[in-house]
Every structure is written in structure tokens, then in C-alpha cells.
Chain A
Amino acid sequence: MKMVAGQELGTTGMAVNSDAVAEEPAVEARRISKIFQGETEVRALDDVSVSIRRNEFFTLLGPSGCGKTTLLRVIAGFEPPTMGALYLAGTDISRLPPNQRPVNTVFQNYALFPHMSVANNIAFGLEMLGKPKDEVRQTVDDMLRLVQMEALKTRRTSEISGGQQQRVALARALAPHPEVLLLDEPLSALDLKLRKEMQIELKRLQNETGITFVFVTHDQEEALTMSDRVAVMNAGKILQIGSPQEIYQHPAERFVANFIGESNFLDATLSGGTVDLKAGGRYDVTVPEGVAEGSVSVLVRPEHASVRSGPAGDGEMSGTIETVVYSGEATTLHLRLATGEPLKARSPNSPGEGTLPGQGEEAAVSIGAGAVTVLRD
């Protein structure tokens, strides 16, 4: 049985028929395209399909202008898709206006109502749903406790700090207990320390409320820290969807590898299940779909390459150290391999004196098993 979520709102809140949707994805975008007509045609979303599971912390990651915010706005209902359909727990909501979708948004600059107190901001959604006064008051108090803002209940939103506004925005969006919470770069305006705190806080809130979070960010570290799954986007397309580990360790494309973490790209020859690096060494790899045998490009993360002084032995790559960069917990060596390719290698610093080779020295580089990933260019 399917019902339009909007019809439910007035009386029973967001309770969408739970037994029927247990295995349905929370949000499913089917072949959505969004084209902005202007002086030039902009294809903000290009045939995007994605399925977001229930209770998942799902992140849309990409550089600015990649379409991640547009996708979020399509889910919220602010932008109608040019093509395609959007399903919420199995129901087509493509045509519902934002106020009939059981989806709430935490806006990038919070968009708190400046003429209302903290409590009235949080109560707004509940009042609009026509909840009885007692229930509204109760929920507002619960939300204030959840985001630890009880003390500032009666303050104006213009009288509280950025981090506090952030919490109020979260509480306001969570108060009506939506099916899905959309977060549009909510941490980008906070300073580093506060951002780290809020990352953990958000994760806690998601666990406690059991609401599906769809999080938009351009910060790869934020995406890796918080998400259950990440979708990497570029130029209106989703390039790869996977867990943070999958995305980081086995990026499918050069763009994904480059965007997330630091990368070394090396030339190699693929035959059977193994690659021969041009600079030396043979490694077993899993071959992604659509990659033909022959000349390929492989990825090696800097922390998977280890360096020692001296000439290269069998299966090792030889190179010269060009720069040594010390950064507290680790040291990064920038090498030039014998093939002319640049390579970065990072190793954690130990408490004693470092035994790493110094600048200008000849060095041998080896790569750990399973650390070589073949890329689909």
C-alpha cells in the first residue's frame, strides 16, 4: 500500500506505512536531470540515480558546482527535476511541494527566523503541522535538551553565536521528526575546533534519532569521518558510491582518487590479474569493470609507500629524494623516480630520532600488498 506522505502530515505526522517500506530505500532518485535555462544552458544534474538506505548517514561529496546542492534541493522540493523521478520510501514525491514532504533541511547559513526566539524557531514546524500545544512544548524541550541549548530557550536567534545557531537549526529541522534530514554544508561557517565537535555531535544525533541524514559537503575529511556511505560527484554526475573505506582505498576513477586524500598516479601494464609498474615491481590487483589489458594508470596512497636509503633491490622502485616535509605526526618525502614520475611517501614519526633518508639521497621505494589500485580513467 502506497500513500502520499503529504496527506498524512496533518494527523499522524510522518509515519509512513512502516511494514511495507522496511526494505524500501529512504530516498531514491531515478535518472534525475536538472537543467537551468539561462543565457547558457547549465546541466546541474545529469542523469543521476541514487538510492539512500533508511537510517543511513549518506554524504554527497564534490567540488563546488558539482550539483550536490542541486540534488539536495531536488530532494527537499525547492527545485523540480527537469527529468526523472524522486521516491521517498517507495512513494513518488516528484510533484509534492516542500511543505508536503516529510523532509527537513538544515540550511547552509541556518536561515533561522530572526523575529522569533530560539524556542519559537524550533516550534515552527510542529505548529505548522497543527500539533497540540502541549505536544509542541514537550517536543521543543526535548529538542533543546538534545542539542544542549536549554539555557538559551528564550533568546533571540540574533543574540547567539554561530555554533549555537547551528544547534538551533538542527533542532528546528529535527523537531517534526522527518523521514529524511537534509544538511547543506552546515559546518562550513564554523571554525575548525567547533567543526570537529559538531561532526561528532551530528553523528550522535543521527544515532539517537534514527533519521536518515543526507549531508552535503565539499570537505573530503568531513565526508570520510561522518558517513556510512559517500557519493562522489562531479559535473552533475555521481562518479562513485561506497563506504568511506571503499572510496578511499579503491577509488574507481582518477577524479575520485584525486579529490579524496593525496594520491600518486603511476604508469603500469595490466595483464591477467597483475600489474607491472613501469618504475619496477609486480602487484596483484582486482581489475575494475571496463578496464582493458595493456597500459593503465594505478593509484598508490602516500602512506602505503615505504622508503629506505640505498639502491633499490628486486621489486623495488629507485628514486631520489627532492624534498622532506615535516608535519607533526608524519613526515612526507617527495621523490623523483628513475622513470621521471613524482611520488609522495608518508610515514608516521616515531618518538626517537628519525631514520628516514635525507634530501638528495638515493632511496628505494616499496609498496605494501593490496595497496595498488587500478583506475578507470
Chain B
Amino acid sequence: MNVAMRAFLDSILIQNPVVMTFVGALLAVVVPRSARSSLRPALRFSVALFFAGLVGATLTTMVPIVAAPMVFLAVGLATTALLLALGELRDTWMGMPQAILGVAPLIGVQILVGTYGEPAAMVAASGGNAVGFAIMFVLIGAIRESSRISESSDTFKTNPVVLFSMAVFALALTGFLFW
């Protein structure tokens, strides 16, 4: 298996940005309410993650290492502004702008993609992170929706079910190994 294909599959599965590297975990736990309503946001977030990862990781190869956090921050904030312009993350969440949820995944994916070093692997890893995030985002939306309409006690609905389901996903993805 070549480096780019491995980077792509690793980023979808054993380095999934939601359940394995956690950078997108909060965004995926809070935002999706149902499977159907999460499809469009998932697409937008994944495109944003792809370009943020690619642009941020590429730019950091061109600047001194001490400037890398500034690049990550600038790309992360610019991509958040783009998501806001597209109509995502416009509500407030716990007294703060919901857009704050997007910053950690956008910066985290840049850092993760940047570790690959070579251009083909960075493109593949950006794509893998985007696809992996979108899949988990929709799946978690479906789990939240089905737990909400289930007949179980309110004690077990939504967040506990979502978090334990993410543990099961993490266990499943741990089983993938490519060489």
C-alpha cells in the first residue's frame, strides 16, 4: 500500500478525527440532531476540514516553525468565518457563539495533517479526515435521533447513549490495521 492511500485510510479509520483523535468529538456530539438534518452540515464541515487541513499543513512547510501556530490559528479562524458565512454554527451555545465549537477541529486537523510532511500524503490525510468526520457526524446524528425517540427512561437518552456509542465505534476502528 502506498503512503498516500495509507494516510487516507488511516485518517478515516484508526485516526478518525471524531472517535480516535477526538479533535472533532465535541462538534459531532453537540451539533447533529438527526441523520437527515445533519447531511448538509456534514458536507460543509468536511469540505472546510479538507481545505483547512490542506492549506494549514502546506503553509506551515513554508514558514519558520515558530510561526506554525499563527498559521494554524489564522487558517482556523478564516475557515470558521467561512462556515459562518455559509450559515453554519450561527446559534449560541452555553452563552458563547456556537462557532467556537469549530475552532478545535479546524486547528487540530491542520496539526494532524502537518505531521505527514509530504504533499501527496497531506492531500490524502486531509481527504481522509474530511470523510471520516462526515461519516461519524451523520452516524452520531442518527444515534441521537433514535435515542431521543426511544421508549427508554430519559436518564439514558441522548448524551450517555452518544458517548457510549462513540466508545463502541472507537473499539471497532481500533481493529483496522494497514501495512
A binds B: no
Chain B contacts to A: CB under 8 angstroms = none
